[in-house]
């Protein structure tokens, strides 16, 4: 069955004369996973976009400040990592509102990529500047059925200028993310692609 998503979701960025890709991270901040991601981005002169869970910001505010201080973009990923398909619409928006108290952004990504038409409409009404960001490529680092090597292959086989790639700065994804991220960043650098934060 083909999935039907609300209109207006952003799955990739337009290609430009200066090729770029967009590395993103979901579910942080996290004390060691986010720190590792920041260190790798710095090593490869890359900028990323961090879709943060509000509850984790309250747990690790210093890590969140590091993300900001190093010039990366931060974005709303709800306060409690809510599944839109399993959440009443007003409660979903309320959870986004709660996260917005901690995250100054115009970017939102639905956890699990699951969002209803009505929820997208409510978000646009409440936050007309918000862009709802999905992805071109899932690394699948969150899935224990995948190896770190398979996560690398998921990205490298599909990435091209304009791609939005998802990693996770979380304990769940750590074993695979810490193996795959440096190799993906190295691959992108060797292609001559700039690694940029989402430009909204």
pLDDT tens digits, residue range 62-101?
999 999 999 999 999 999 999 999 999 999 999 999 999 9
Residue 1 confidence class, pLDDT cut points 50, 70, 90: very low
Q: Would you say residue 148 has pLDDT above 90?
A: yes
What number is the average pLDDT over the span 127-149?
97
pLDDT of residue 5: 59
Through-space distance between the first and last CA atoms of the chain, rounded to whole angstroms: 33
- pTM, two decimal places: 0.95
Q: What is the mean pLDDT of the chain?
A: 95
pLDDT of residue 55: 98
pLDDT of residue 3: 43
What number is the average pLDDT over the span 8-35?
95
What number is the average pLDDT over the span 15-42?
96
d(CA 141, CA 180): 8
């Amino acid at each position: 069955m083909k999935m039907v998503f609300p209109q207006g979701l952003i799955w990739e960025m337009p290609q430009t004369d200066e090729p770029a890709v967009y590395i993103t991270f979901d579910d942080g901040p996290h004390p060691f996973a986010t720190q590792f991601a920041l260190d790798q981005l710095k090593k490869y002169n890359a900028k990323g976009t961090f879709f943060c869970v509000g509850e984790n910001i309250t747990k690790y505010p210093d890590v969140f400040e590091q993300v900001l201080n190093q010039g990366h973009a931060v974005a709303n990923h709800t306060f409690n990592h809510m599944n839109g398909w399993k959440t009443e619409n007003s409660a979903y928006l309320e959870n986004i509102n709660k996260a917005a108290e901690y995250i100054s952004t115009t970017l939102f990504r639905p956890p699990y990529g699951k969002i209803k038409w009505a929820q997208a409409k409510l978000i646009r009404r409440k936050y007309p500047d918000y862009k709802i960001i999905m992805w071109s490529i899932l690394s699948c680092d969150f899935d224990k059925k995948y190896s770190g090597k398979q996560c690398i292959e998921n990205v490298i086989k599909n990435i091209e200028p304009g791609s939005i790639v998802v990693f996770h700065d979380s304990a769940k994804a750590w074993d695979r993310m810490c193996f795959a991220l440096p190799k993906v960043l190295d691959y992108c650098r060797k292609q001559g692609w700039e690694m940029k934060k989402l430009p909204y």
